[in-house]
Amino acid sequence: MIEQRILMVDDQPSNLVSLDAILEAEGRVLLKANSGPEALKILLKEDISLVLLDVQMPGMDGFEVAELMRQRKDTQSIPIIFVTAISKEDKYVFRGYQVGAVDYLFKPLDPVILQSKVGFFLQLDRQRRELQEKLRQAQAHRAAYEAAKKDGGGKG
């Protein structure tokens, strides 16, 4: 089973505990960050499959974290789900999608909906990783074939 890492970012420890309780499952590693800068440090070190990101945080808000993620090649394709208690006004939701969110959830969270959405994005991540592995294997086989052809070239 592929182990997948979910980064949960929220400045309220109680929200992280709630997310942890809802999302804990076999094959998942749940990483927690209490701030934008802490989240970015984790993103540099870990292979993250999905980010659940609070919008309103002191210092660096979720929008800024998302913008910085989208600027880096190694983090630009990680799906981001914004989790927020702020207004459902279109301008905030639009900004979230503009900076790269794949979804937007409003607190209080419905555990069934959260599980369903997280499960969907983790399934996409699993498929992407499997395809990357198959591509790597195909490239290795081709390289071995080319090397064998060169070595045994004209005999035959």
Could you tell me the two tokens for 13? 């420890």
Could you tell me the two tokens for 87? 């207004």
116-137 pLDDT, tens digit per residue, is: 999 999 999 999 999 999 999 9
Q: How many structural domains is the chain composed of?
A: 1
2-58 pLDDT, tens digit per residue, is: 799 999 999 999 999 999 999 999 999 999 999 999 999 999 999 999 999 999 899
In order of 49, 65, 95, 106, 136, the CA distances from 42 in angstroms are 12, 12, 24, 24, 26
102-121 pLDDT, tens digit per residue, is: 999 988 899 999 999 999 99
Domain range for 47 is: 4-152
Q: What is the CATH number of the domain that holds 124?
A: 3.40.50.2300
Residue 87 pLDDT: 62
Could you tell me the two tokens for 102? 């794949």
Could you tell me the two tokens for 96? 């979230």
